[in-house]
Structure formats: C-alpha cells, structure tokens
Amino acid sequence: MTKPRPVPMQLPDAEVLCSDLAGAMRPGIDPARTVLVGIHTGGVWVAERLHAALGLKIPAGSMDVSFYRDDFNQRGLHANARASHIPFEVEGAHVVIVDDVLYTGRTIRAAMNELFDFGRPARIDLAVLTDRGGRELPIAPTFCPHSMSLPTSQMLALERAADGRLSFRVMEK
C-alpha cells in the first residue's frame, strides 16, 4: 500500500499581491508626504515596487532590524546584516513600514523600536503582502491583500529572480 502524497499548497502570486497592495494603499496616502521603510530583504523589494506604483516623491528607506530583535541573544547577528538607511526626516512623518510576510509581529516591533531612534513619526502604518497568522504580539497590518495559514514548522519566503520578478516559496525551518 502506498502512502498518499500531500497536495502541494497553492502559493499566492507575489506580483499580483504587490499590485493589490498598492491599490489598497492609494486612498490612504499622500504621495508628497508619505514615506516608506522596507524591512530587509523582502520588505525592501516590496517597498521599491510600492514607491514606483504610488508615485511617491520622498525616497524609500530600508531597515535591518537585527540589533533590535528581542531574540538577538539567542539568534545572534545574521550573516548578511546591513546598515539601515533612512533618507528622510522621521519626526512628524507618516511612515509606512513595509514587509513581505507578517508572522509573529516581533520583526515589526523591532522595526518600530528602531524607527523611534530616528525620531517620533506622526503616524505609522504597516503594509505586508501576506499575513500568515501565528501572532505573538498584538500587531496587525493596516494594508494586507492576502492571509494564509502555515504550520509552525514552515516559513514563507519571498524571492526575487534575476529579472526582478517576485515569488513565494515555502521552506521547512
């Protein structure tokens, strides 16, 4: 008797989600005053797409929240840690933190902690391509075109092909 094979999960189309996310954000932003900050790495790719699609005037920033994570002592420094780049005045700004996947909320908490080191924004919103559930902190996205569930043994990763196309892949932890 053969063991049944698991049916492969249908992953969302990251390109479509980028477009849907931009459409959802458009009514709630001011292109001349709203600023984006992408979280390395996938959030930076999504922020680049959103910046172009929304016609934002102020350059997008990027953050590596490695030093701000509450599990830094357990995980250590990621081998590809990068410096954060915030090319705008945070004080009084409407900042949209951008990430690819929302999971526990700990990465977003770390991003907000780092952001406040640069100043006190007037408002912070969160934009993500997908919410995979599993929250450990009371953090919710303002803009999110897709939700899904994954077992805790798996992670959803955004990848960028050589031609710039974005796609999701499920990986075992």
Which residues touch 97 (CB under 8 Å, ≥6 apart)?
Answer: 37, 39, 43, 63, 108, 111, 112, 115, 124, 125, 126, 127
**pTM above threshold 0.85:** yes
Distances (CA, A) of 72 to 43, 75, 84, 112, 134: 20, 5, 17, 16, 20
**pLDDT given for residue 72 in this prediction:** 54
Does residue 4 lie in a domain region? no
Buried b or exposed e, range 24-39, using 16+ CB within 10 angstroms: ebeeebeeeebbbbbb
Residue 110 lies in a domain: yes
On whether residue 5 sits in a domain, the answer given is no
Q: What is the pLDDT of residues 75-120, one digit of tens each?
A: 555 566 788 999 999 999 999 999 999 999 999 999 999 999 999 9
Angle at 27 between CA 24 and CA 30, to 5 degrees: 120
At 150 the three-state DSSP class reads coil
Q: Assign 68 a pLDDT band (cuts: 50, 70, 90).
A: confident
Which pLDDT belongs to residue 26? Answer: 98
The answer to whether 63 and 69 have CB atoms below 8 angstroms apart is no
Contact 132, 156 (CB under 8 A): yes
Residue 53 belongs to a domain:
yes
pLDDT of residue 54: 98
| pLDDT value for 64 | 93
Per-residue pLDDT, averaged over 17-38, amounts to 97
Residue 127 counted as domain residue = yes
Q: Total domain count for the chain?
A: 1
Q: Is residue 80 part of a domain?
A: no
Q: Which domain holds residue 64?
A: 14-72+85-172
Q: What is the pLDDT of residues 118-173, one digit of tens each?
A: 999 999 999 999 999 999 999 999 999 999 999 999 999 999 999 999 999 999 98
Residue 6 in this model has a pLDDT that exceeds 60: no
Q: Report yes or no on 149 lying in a domain.
A: yes
| Short-list 14, 23, 37, CA closest to 121 | 37
Tell me, what CATH number does 59's domain have? 3.40.50.2020
Which pLDDT tens digit goes with each residue over 56-65? 999 999 999 9
